[in-house]
Structure 1
């Protein structure tokens, strides 16, 4: 049996997000997609949240379409009731249709049934990847976490290579959603050579997320290997992000801040990383400041401002904030107008262990 369960696609999640933020034309595209895919249950869910405002006639029409499609599939069951493979195929089609319409209750019920009747690890993986997408669309952390755990189990038990690679994309996406950018960057980067998860995100979006995560977390060798010299990344129309990586790796700072601003504008309304834009901008500034100071050890504020094409006061305030927060190990000599790196204080490991033991003992006393 050839499994699929590629619907619903996370494209619909993107449309929901764009509708929420008032993107022009998004609502019309969302309503068309839900109508074309007979997504009655999702339509009702979004109407309850005030994201769409369908007429009663529209909802009733979709409901009738859904019921008619189920009846049509069920009628085919009678054509060969003695054929076990035929019956399983009908059950699978019903399960897929309920998932497509975003009927969470029926979707879980029917996918559970077909997994009981067929113990294939490939089927299990397809089902749980589908449930992950449904959980993301409906905003259910419980469904996402439980389905991801089940998919991991199927993967560890020997699921086929293609599905393991698809799961790597999902894992990378979930890490991205949790803010685990280092893990997300590696997983998504590793998935690119044999990418086959268009139902989760388009290839170009996966490339963008590799650039986003890599800019935040990759060390220089990985920036080169996984992005700048990676044929799967280069030439995929993500030039705004690539400019940041090139400037960072090649120490070209004069346009870095402008390039950072441009990339942040591009991703500001992205469904998954848009919420991280302010953090990304700040962390990238910190990273590039550190890179400059580690090279020179000390530098006049005016020279540093000139290096980045920024105002002196802006750079001084920026650096001051990072220093106060102890994110940047430097000091500013306001008399000589110089910023210089400080030696990082060595960590007393034995002291940390002793303090940790004390904390554990206190916790145990409270537990008792």
Structure 2
């Protein structure tokens, strides 16, 4: 099985039923336009809406003219009644715009769908919207929000028009592991019966998930290499591959160092199955940018944890907030005096 989820889903998409020539497309569109005019003359709003929808689906599936298809779908949207019916049309538009990576349009229609949910869209549409929004969040690198949406949809996933369930599980696991705490990962991912039912069929994903949770870092790094390759080929995550690689390693290093007050570079390198120089360089970079609270004693080759005092940190933040508030009050008082 190929682990490159989303890399090329042309086989899964519903493509043209035949190879249409430009002339045949023009003739078919004339027929569909005539059908719409006939419905407007002799039938009601529902029939008109259905005729417009037939044209939109033809433009999308057969002509593959997404800009024109979107215009006709929005025309059908205006003539549709009920939040759920409108969301069905917006989902068709979202599928096209996600395929085109038109992020601004996706954001606009996801927001519109949320409004329709508040107006009373049915349960199925509400659950599908979570998947569409999750994909949007992956595209804009909001992996934490994507993980939350995906985890809440594990048992109710029905959005097969956007992705297969195995793809969904892959996205759920990788976004959750890089953004969620151990308690959440354990409850929502590691012990999820729905995920466990299919994760065996996704190469390296179970090893990746379980080795990380069980603190088996050498096995984790081995699986991590394969997961990185999959992410680099994935159409939604490939542009964020370097960010994901850095953040996931950071999460693993933090988890490892939480167990020790001090540890030698050699022991940590052995635990991860890498060379000491690699760990030294990695941690030095993370320490320099303030991502890991520890220090490295190069003479003795020891990494010493430097966990911040949470009470002191809270006190400092409170003082800073108080100073900021006081400055704003003073500025307001001066403005009133004037």
User: What is the TM-score normalised by the length of structure 2?
Assistant: 0.83
Deviation of 1:352 (Å): 2.9
Report if the CA contact (8 A) 1:223-1:245 is conserved: no
Residue in structure 2 matched with residue 21 of structure 1 by the alignment: none
> Given the alignment, which residue of 144, 147, 163 partners 2:106?
144
Structure 1 residue 207 displacement after superposition: 0.6
**Structure 1 residue 354: Cα displacement:** 5.0
The aligned runs of 1:21-100 (5 Å cut-off) are 36=17, 62-76=21-35, 81-84=41-44, 85-100=46-61
Structure 2 residue aligned with 1:268: 232
CA contact (8 A) 1:247 1:253 kept: yes
Q: Alpha carbons of 1:255 and 1:105: their partners in 2 closer, same or farther (altered >3 Å)? A: closer
Stretches of structure 2 that go unaligned for 5 or more consecutive residues are 1-5
Taking the aligned partners of 1:153 and 1:66, their CA distance within structure 2 comes to 36
| Deviation string, structure 1 residues 145-178 (Cα, Å, up to 9, x no partner) | 2211111111111101111111111011111111
Instruction: Output one character per residue of 1:285-326: Cα deviation in whole Å (capped at 9) or x when no partner.
Output: 211211121111210111111112211111111111111111
- For residues 312 and 118 of structure 1, do their structure 2 counterparts lie closer, same or farther at Cα, with a shift above 3 Å needed? closer
Per-residue deviation, residues 237-283 of structure 1 (Å, max 9, x unmatched): 22412212211211112322112112112222110112222222222
- Asked if 2 retains the 8 angstrom alpha-carbon contact of 1:135 and 1:141, the reply is yes
Contact 1:329-1:344 at 8 Å conserved across structures: yes
Tell me if the contact between 1:329 and 1:342 (Cα under 8 Å) persists in the aligned partners: yes
- Cα displacement string for residues 86-105 of structure 1 (whole angstroms, at most 9, x for unaligned residues): 33321221233234344344
Provide the secondary structure at the position in 1 that maps to 2:295: strand
Moved more, 74-83 or 164-173: 74-83
Q: CA RMSD in A?
A: 2.9
Instruction: Return the alpha-carbon distance in structure 2 between the equivalents of residues 143 and 87 of structure 1.
Output: 26
- Deviation of 1:139 after TM superposition, in Å, equals 3.1
- Cα distance in structure 1, aligned partners of 2:59 and 2:99: 15
Distance 1:241 1:14 in 2: 17
The one of 119, 128, 134 aligned to 1:166: 128
Asked if structure 1 preserves the Cα contact closer than 8 Å seen for 2:262 and 2:305, the reply is yes
* Aligned mates of 1:260, 1:320 — CA distance in 2: 21
Equivalent residues of 2:107, 2:136 under 8 A apart: no
Instruction: State the secondary structure of the residue aligned to 1:332.
Output: strand
The answer to whether 1:218 aligns with 2:218 is no
Deviation, 1:356, is 4.6
Matches within 5 A, 1:297-336: 297-336=261-300
What's the counterpart of residue 155 of structure 1?
117
Asked whether 1:286 is paired with 2:245, we answer no
What's 2:3 paired with? none
Alignment of 1:191-210 (within 5 A): 191-210=153-172
Higher relative contact order (CA 8 A, sep 6+): 2
1:240-251 pair list within 5 angstroms: 240-251=204-215
Helix, strand or coil for the counterpart of 2:307?
A: coil
How big is the shift at 1:36?
A: 4.3
From 300, 304, 318, the equivalent of 1:350 is: 318
Distance verdict in 2 for CA 1:69–1:191, change over 3 Å: farther
CA–CA distance in structure 1, aligned partners of residues 36 and 248 of structure 2: 58
CA distance in 1, matches of 2:279, 2:288: 14
Report if aligned partners of 1:135, 1:144 keep a CA contact under 8 Å in 2.
Answer: yes
2:297, 2:114 → 1: CA distance?
Answer: 53
Instruction: Report the Cα distance in structure 2 between the residues aligned to 1:312 and 1:131, rounded to whole angstroms.
Output: 51
